[in-house]
Structure 1
Amino acid sequence: MKYLLSALFAMTLFISCSSNDKEPQKTDYTVENEKEITDYIAKNKLTAVKSDTGLYYVINEPGTGKQPTATSNVTVAYKGYYSNGNVFDQSKAEGISFGLNQVIKGWTEGIPHFKEGGSGILLVPSHLGYGSFDYNGIAGGSVLIFDVKLITVN
């Protein structure tokens, strides 16, 4: 009986350690993302502002209407792509409506830099996007770039 309990304990320990090994490991892409973003900015001769969180944004047109907050519901037209130019998502010209507290952190922080009618670019490091894990075809650790136009604050 003593040996059976020891064997069961050892198996339980082995199984629990093995299952933990299969969990995806979170990776910090901060340094790589920063270099990718700054290289993109330099290559495209952009004048970007960096926030304290690491978000970069470019204001092409500030807009003249209402300015949203991080909890506003907005309608935005956008194109999302990687630094190599490959598009991963795009709205129709009339845009889509959503709450800024329901989207990636890069949008929650970035869209309020524009007023209605404003447009620009959000350069989102992975920690403000989908993190280090794959999401809906977007590879973990990806820098996401969005051309955005704030149509309305609803």
Structure 2
Amino acid sequence: MKVDVLTETVIAAPCERVAAYAADPVHAPEWYANIESVQWLTPPPVGVGSRVAFVARFLGRRLAYTYEVTAYESGSRLVMRTAEGPFPMETTYTWEPYGEGAARTRMTLRNRGEPRGFASVGAAVMAAAMRRAQKKDLAALKALMER
């Protein structure tokens, strides 16, 4: 069973600022509750072909995986796919100015993939857990950006 979870939020901060912060993997542990560590495998900054290793905890399990950036449009879109990890996953961020004066940003976070191994048994449970986690993560990012 495939998993496809899309969440979004509106952040009271300029699009360029939100995108620059969220697109930098070094900041991920600051707003992703489940991410424990991040390590660049290629030299920063982020760009197509960049590879980053993550260690996370999800559904009570430790997950180590490597993402490779497959698309990057500075300030508007970032797509990463697992190059190594427990199951194929793609994460997409989008950012766009929102409202008058563009002092706010609409950000979407989408995770989709095909769980296998332990995760394939409960894909529906996994999708629900991902949705909850993504909402919390975007709320944390919103709080950081609106300080």
After TM superposition, the score normalised by the length of structure 1 is 0.31
- Bigger RCO of structures 1 and 2 (CA < 8 A, at least 6 apart): 2
Where is the strand percentage greater, Structure 1 or Structure 2? Answer: 2
Larger Rg: 1
After TM superposition, the score normalised by the length of structure 2 is 0.31
